[in-house]
Amino acid sequence: MRARLATAFGAILAACFQVQSAYAHHAFTSLYDCYAPVVLHGKVSSIEWSNPHVWIHLTADDGKVWMVEGGTPNTLLRMGVRKDMLEPGTAVSIHAYRTRNKACAESPDTHIATCRADGRSLTLGGGAPLFIGASGTGAPVDGADPQYPAGGAKVVEEMQWGKVGDLACPNNSIIGPPR
């Protein structure tokens, strides 16, 4: 009886730690700035299609090189985005948010500065925008995520987010609008 109780307690404890580690995955606001949206137009140079996030490498029309973080491969597939749609040389437009520090890091190997952003929507050749972000991570309510349409006052109110123009950003005392 004591062994069964110890086993059951151990299983419950392990389940709690699993839930905590899933919850601990980074939130949008830990890395990205919802007050720094950017629209990128350019060509895909490569793609990393792997968990936990897809990374789209893009050479923008202005010559800047970007790494754009997307959701999981499964999320992108459910939204209609396939790896073969993003072959090198494919022209895309991506709505994204820059990193909090806005820095573009130079690679020691190539000496090319690469900027990073969190992708929200991707448009191929003038088509309809496809959602490429992740849901429920504290990202802005900007209309890109089909679960949270823009202007959804109820959603903003339920999440206790602050509204800035047409954009709902997380409302917390550490991360706020630029002053």
Domain holding 36, by residue range, is: 28-135
Mean pLDDT score, 54-58: 95
Residue-wise pLDDT for 60-117, tens only, equals 999 999 999 999 999 889 888 999 999 999 999 999 889 888 888 887 887 888 999 9
Could you tell me the pTM of the whole model? 0.69
| pLDDT above 60 for 34 | yes
pLDDT of residue 120: 87
Cα distance between residue 60 and residue 26, in whole Å: 27
Is 90 among the domain residues?
Answer: yes
Residue-wise pLDDT for 57-71, tens only, equals 999 999 999 999 999
Is 169 among the domain residues?
Answer: no
Is 145 among the domain residues?
Answer: no
Is 52 among the domain residues?
Answer: yes
| pLDDT above 50 for 168 | yes
CB 100 within 8 A of CB 33: yes
Number of domains, the chain = 1
pLDDT of residue 30: 75
- Greater pLDDT, 136 or 49: 49
Cα distance between residue 168 and residue 62, in whole Å: 29
Is 124 among the domain residues?
Answer: yes
Is 94 among the domain residues?
Answer: yes
Cα distance between residue 156 and residue 140, in whole Å: 10
Is 35 among the domain residues?
Answer: yes
Cα distance between residue 49 and residue 71, in whole Å: 10
Backbone angles phi, psi at 146, to 5 degrees: -60, -20
pLDDT of residue 105: 84
Q: Which of 86, 45, 46, 40 is nearest to 60 (CA)?
A: 40
The CATH number covering residue 103 comes to 2.40.50.140
Is 46 among the domain residues?
Answer: yes
